Amino acid sequence: MSLFLTGLSYKTAPVEVRERLAFAENALGEALDALRACAGVDEVLILSTCNRVEVAVNSAGSAVPQQILDALSAHRGLDPAWLSPYLYTYEGREAIKHLFRVAASLDSMVLGEPQILGQLKAAYSAARQHGSVNGFLDSVLTRAFTVAKRVRSETGIGRSAVSVSYAAVELARQIFGDLGTRQVLLVGAGKMSELAARHLQGAGCGRIFVTNRTRTRAEEMAALVSGDVIDYEKFHERLPGMDIVITSSGAPEYILRKDEMKQVLRKRQNRPIFIIDIAVPRNVDPAVDDLENIYLYDIDDLGREVEANRLARQREAEQAEQIIDEEIQRLFDRMRVREVTPVIVGLQHQLEEIGRAELDRVRSKLGTLTPQQEEALQAYTRGLLNKIAHGPMTEIRRAASQPEGDRILSVIRRMFRLEDS
């Protein structure tokens, strides 16, 4: 049996292609059945996310990639010739390495993001429940989860923010520590501020308020983040009660200026305020940053933070790649040991049969033996056979970790006539 992986991702296919191949959760069972119906296929896993669709197969067939292409195309009503240029295929060791890298988020659009591991575990669980993963592929996937855990614990690949919205939350944490009692005001209801608000909500921020020139849009945003709406004409009055302010208004001029923020600080008794200005053109007068206890970051500041963190993750990824190479070698060493076990057992059985036959032949010539003589004869036979077996056994075990292992095992099988073992 051999492992094959065929799929496409954000690296090889645009979203309009990925969405045509993507599988809804309720359609996975039928697709798994269609793939298992391919000749020689024993196990199948389908991983379908917004950034990738991949099929991993354990099969004895040699035409598996073409079978997968045909089955996927037929199931999704696509022309195989149209789909084929977007696909990549890995086999054996390379397929295992790819699965390990995916699990460890080294192949993700955002390096180090944690979601892909959960998605792979969900795909594995669905395949297990459907009975399509139950052997070698099962062991590879469970090992992939262990590898991902090791990468997370031994590297810092997931520690630094690599999106603008998440970077804003990390900076807020640096300023305030616990965000559980902090109040947030969103001025404007753009997509970027929505993402930042979602991250702040996920970080346990105390309360979120939303204001926007168009009140209905403010109400929609507030509903998304379990927040409250403030009338746009009145949000300046509420500034002293806010710890974090995120601005993304389309206003053509500054909506927060230095003199006003001086008054806000006075009312707050100089308690710090964190302002994230992600609007272009900017909503906050850069001079506001001159005020003590106001921490102002614009989109470029956040971008520089993200780039520094991205480079830091890239350095951590190099260590993660070493971990994956170690784990792949460990997996293959274990597989080789399992491969040579039948040869060892067969050789032992062969020698025991030879020993018994020779003992019977000698006994017939020697006549009746005393118990001491019988024991001595058996000990002599065992010792002789152990000495004969020592060399081949050593070579068999050595072959488990050597590139020429298959050739060594083949010679030993022929020498001791173990072809049927």
List active site positions. 50
DSSP E strands, 283-416: 294-298
The contacts of residue 102 (CB under 8 Å, 6+ apart) are: 47, 52, 54, 108, 116, 120, 144
169 close to 230: Cβ distance less than 8 angstroms: no
Structure tokens at 330: 């460990």
| Cβ density class 394-418: b for 16+ within 10 Å, e for less | ebbeebbeeeebeebbeebbeebeb
Which residue from 201, 293, 210, 283 is spatially nearest to 248, judged by alpha carbons?
283
Which residue from 194, 191, 167 is spatially nearest to 274, judged by alpha carbons?
167
Which residue from 218, 214, 177, 174 is spatially nearest to 197, judged by alpha carbons?
218
Other beta carbons within 10 Å of 183:
16
Structure tokens at 311: 């480079």
